[in-house]
Structure 1
Amino acid sequence: MVALIAASLRATLNGASQILLQTHPGCGLLVLVAIGLQDRALLAGALVGLLAGTGFAWFCSYPRRDIETGLYGYNATLLGLLITLVLDGAPLAWPLILVASMLCVPLQRRLLEGMRRQDRLPGFTLPFVLLGWLTLGLCGMLGGLIEARLPEPEIGGWGALGGMLRGIGQVLFLSAPAAGLCLLVALCWADRNAALWALCGSAIGIYAALLSGAAESQALAGLAGYNPALAAVALSQIHRSALFPALGIALAIAARLAFEQLGIAPLTMPFILACWAVAFGLRLARQHARRTNPGIPPSLSR
């Protein structure tokens, strides 16, 4: 019984930490604290999604290691946050969170199987994005999430640092610099290098928004920073060279601008597309290397 409780707690906290691409219960705890620092209603929505997604994965008897690693919790947590934010605590929010969280579990399972058995690209937060777009469409708000997520335009005394912290916080729809700081500490606890890249990605994303003509208050709200931050964290954990996280940052910024032109809420799709583009480019380079140098073992062309 004690072992089951410990495994469930570990799966829950890891599910929260996986939003920041980490497998670290302490990081997950600080993620939940960061949400609570900004809004208790958001925390409630996040917990309902997290527990529903993780619990449904246990019910479906999916591989225990995947569940305890948190792979079935993070998409559901993000959906809980999104639905709570969009519906603003309406009674409909709670059953919708439960349904969406459970729907994302089999979708995540298919993505994991495709990645492992058929060497497909990782899904990252794709279940959240697809079901998030569906939710926004059903609510008649597709493309209107940006306004809902913008904090008050007053910048206060945080300045540029506040904008960078908001860029990290907006990964979880959090606009308070204190919440972003808590997430940065959570990343530091799990992986200092990832924390540095997150801060770098957020800063470059915000600077790019200013260069593209965005108002200072809008840029410092952090909406331009969270996708580059996520892309930088993800690619820095796979590749030692700084080239790939830097490329991911640039691609995420370009993808975000494209979504803005289309009038579609980007959610975390620019981050996903940036990582896919880098991974696909590397695959093509390896295939070309093997064709031009057939004597080189596949392991040496990686």
Structure 2
Amino acid sequence: MLPADLHTHTTVSDGRLAPEQVVREAARAGVTTLVITDHAAVTWSPRLLELARSLGVVLPFPGVEVSTVHDGGRRYHVLGYGEGCLDEEFTGWVARTNEAKNERMARALEILRERDPLVPAMDRVLRGALPDGTELHPDKRLIGRSVAVAVVAATTRRPPEDVRADLVAALAEVDADAPGLSEAGRVYLPTVEVIRRMAGLGIVPVLAHPLWQHRTPNADRTALHADLEVFRDAGLLASEVASYHHVTPGVDTALLESVTGLGLERSGGSDFHGNGKSHLGRYGLTEPEFARIETLVRARRP
């Protein structure tokens, strides 16, 4: 566990804990520098900053994670750090990926509602509206399958495994009727354009878990190394070199050599979702390593 964690998620996107809970968990874990990087949404407020400060946790700058696609099919996630993440035009642009994913889920829920009127509509599922009147996540921007199953199961009082099977079938029906909803161009943005837009706004672009689609330790990395160079030339400034998404745990030395050889900084974070797959501070940065990332962010402030 390391003190700086630059890659975390909350209920605003697909995390299991609310932003305030993530901050509290960071304090308990000994993480003193935390960046929240929700998918296509910026989780940032004076109230959250004050809570973190009171617990001895610094939120140094806003962050975001954007799902992208490059060269016709290779998928990459790009993290962005800095005040430029708050730019309204930028946030509206990246939010399109969440809107596309939510539209697909909404259509699947409507199919289930036609068969069972107790199934809640999309707006209630997004809020996490439960039968007792409470809301699990009123600020949520992205609805994933697990959350939809939990809310529908609680509302209809059906076993989650039955709801999950019905939802999977409904999503397949949506994809058959409207295949365009899940096309890469709708749910992903172009990697190079994302990096260039970030750089133009003074946002520090960072590649997240670059090996996440390499399913075996000996997978061919030729395309990845070529892409890293393209991304560097577009404005990429850093890359993660370890992730629980990677086949081999811990720092990948070959990836680290590629990253440093291209003049990119090393970044790191747990990719915490609160689902037990990773823990706050895991794969993070030491204070000196974080200082180099922070220097990049400060140098690009307007």
Same fold (TM over 0.5): no
Higher relative contact order (CA 8 A, sep 6+): 2
More strand per residue: 1 or 2?
2
- Give the alignment's TM-score, normalised by structure 1: 0.30
TM-score (norm 2): 0.30
